[in-house]
Amino acid sequence: MDINYLKALYITAKCNSISVAAKKLHLSQPGLSFQLQSLESSIGKTLLKRSNKGVSLTPEGEIVFNYAKSIIAIEENMKKELKELEGLKKHLTIGACSSLADYALPCSAYTFKQIHDDIDINILSMTSCQVLKKLRDREINIGIVQSISPISDMTEVPIIKNNIVLVCDYNVSTSNISIDELKDLPLVTRESGSIINDSISMDLKAHGLEFNDLNILFSLNSDEAIKRTLMHNESYAFLPELVVKHELHDKYLKKIFIKDLSMQCSYSLVYRTDYNLKSFEKSFIDFITSGHRCFCY
């Protein structure tokens, strides 16, 4: 099977158009169609549905598409590692959950770069689930995630624990509440499936309260969006303290103390158990777990 044919399928499916994909691949449309037909012949399955609206994947095509994505990522990583062996610049790509990538990691990356000028650093901000998916798809080799339980196919290196705090607009009169009063507060949360929601749920359950018992107004997939919402409405949110440190200091937001309830989230650096770290990646792990890491928050 020709990897170029897999790339042809991958790009065509992403573009939903043979003509657009042909331009991206610098091929003629007949040339691209030949590659797609050759791939279908070699597999013995129809991979694309063609119509006046463009092309879409068949169920068999979905399977091949997902494998093609992983194979292409592996090829790119292989080429990158081979270039590094030739003495070219080292490239360190880190997929990190947004609460660290957007707030704490930038200062650490700057300090690390001052020490290791020969290493190019690229930080990708996303959810913890997205980080793990990219690691498993071999698109990245190192990630930083919020973790609440061991991840069987990953090696984990603990980095930091941080308080989860209940916050609201600074001008709200409330300062202290009980766990029973928490149920009535209008809450804005992170999106469904977010690790911080799972962490909060576990802590609440230990006090006899279910996450779904809370008065949740809506969810957002961005800490920044949640903070903006709190500053303009009388609503509340649970966020890692490092995310709201500056807003607390500048009196845009304030903490609400919940009697007999304190919560923490844990952050870990993770990489695949079958992956052999390169020397400069080990240097980063040593740095990020040391007292020199210089988190921004």
Per-residue pLDDT of the chain (297 residues; tens, 9 = 90+): 788 899 999 999 999 999 999 998 888 888 889 899 999 999 999 999 988 888 999 999 999 999 999 999 998 888 887 877 766 668 899 999 999 999 889 889 999 998 888 898 999 999 999 999 999 999 999 999 998 888 999 999 999 999 999 999 999 998 999 999 999 999 999 998 889 999 999 999 999 899 989 999 999 999 999 999 999 889 999 999 999 999 999 999 999 999 999 999 999 999 999 999 999 999 999 999 987 777 765
Q: What is the CATH number of domain 90-297?
A: 3.40.190.290
> CATH 1.10.10.10 region(s) of the chain?
3-83
Angstrom distance (rounded) from CA 274 to CA 278: 13
**CA–centroid distance for 207 within its chain:** 30
Residue that has been written with the tokens 């070699």 in this structure: 42
Single-letter amino acid, residue 27: L
Angstrom distance (rounded) from CA 14 to CA 173: 51
Single-letter amino acid, residue 225: A
Residue that has been written with the tokens 């977010």 in this structure: 194
**For residue 242, what pLDDT is reported?**
92
Angstrom distance (rounded) from CA 259 to CA 248: 20
**For residue 65, what pLDDT is reported?**
94
Task: State residue 279 phi and psi, 5-degree precision.
Answer: -60, -40
Vertex 41 angle, CA 40 and 47, to 5°: 15
> CATH 3.40.190.290 region(s) of the chain?
90-297
- 239's enclosing H/E stretch is strand 236-240
| CATH 3.40.50.150 is held by the domain 3-83 | no
Angstrom distance (rounded) from CA 234 to CA 215: 13
Angstrom distance (rounded) from CA 50 to CA 128: 36
**For residue 86, what pLDDT is reported?**
62
Task: Outline where DSSP puts E strands in 127-226.
Answer: 142-147, 154-169, 176-177, 186-190, 215-220
Could you tell me which of 98, 182, 108 has the C-alpha nearest to residue 143? 98
Question: Model confidence over 37-88: pLDDT tens digits?
Answer: 999 999 999 999 988 888 999 999 999 999 999 999 998 888 887 877 766 6
Angstrom distance (rounded) from CA 56 to CA 9: 10
**For residue 88, what pLDDT is reported?**
60
**For residue 89, what pLDDT is reported?**
67
Angstrom distance (rounded) from CA 159 to CA 179: 30
**For residue 79, what pLDDT is reported?**
84
Residue that has been written with the tokens 């360190």 in this structure: 92
Buried b (16+ CB within 10 A) or exposed e, 233-243: eebbbbbbbbb
